[in-house]
Amino acid sequence: MTDSPRPPTLPAVYAGDRVAHAFAAGIGAALAPSEDCLDRLAEVLGPWTAPTPFLDWLAHITGARVEPDWTELQRRTAVALAPWLAAHRGTKRALLREALEIYGWTLDVQDLGGVFTGDRRPPAGRMLTVTLTLRGDEDRPAAERRLTRLVAAHCPAHLPFKTVVTG
C-alpha cells in the first residue's frame, strides 16, 4: 500500500489552478486503494503467493486437478503445475510428474504402447498397468484410491488400466 496518493499530473495550463489541483488530488486519493490492488494483482494470482482463500478459485480457473483432502502445499503445487499438465495430459510423462510433485511417488508404468492402424489391432487385453510401491508410513487404502484417481485423470479414455499398490 502506498503511503500517500500519487501526485496529480495535470496539463501545464492548470499549473496555477488550485481548484484543479485539489480536484485531481481528491481523485488520486480515491483511486489509490484500487491502484494498490492492481499493483498487487500478480501476487494475488500467483500459485505460491496467493492468499489461501483464493486457492480454490485459482484451481478452478486454471483447470488444476485437486482433491478435497489435499494439503495447502499440494493445492498450490497443482495450481502451479496446471498449465504444464494441460499441455501434456494423457502422457506417461505428465502422470509421472504429477505423482512425484503432488504425492512424492515414483511410479512404475507398464504399457505396450504403439500406434495401431489399418488391419493392425492392439493385442487383446492390452492394459496400462501402474504400480506404486508404498513407503512404510502410508495408508494403503487411501493410496489405492488416490492412485486410481490420478491414473484415471491421465489415462486416455480408450485405454483400460489397472493400478497395483505394493509394499
Average pLDDT, integer, range 18-42: 79
CA 113/CA 110 separation, integer angstroms: 9
CA 134/CA 143 separation, integer angstroms: 8
* pLDDT value at residue 5: 60
Angle at Cα 161 formed by Cα 138 and Cα 84, nearest 5°?
Answer: 75
pLDDT in tens, 49-91: 999 988 999 999 999 999 988 999 999 999 999 999 999 988 8
pLDDT in tens, 103-160: 999 999 987 666 767 777 766 767 889 999 998 788 899 999 999 999 999 988 777 8
Model confidence pTM above 0.85: no
3 state SS of 62? helix
* pLDDT value at residue 114: 67
Q: Which residues pair with 161 in a beta bridge?
A: 128
Separation in Å, CA 110 to CA 95, 97, 127, 129, 133: 12, 16, 8, 5, 14
Domains along the sequence of the chain with CATH: 89-167 (3.30.300)
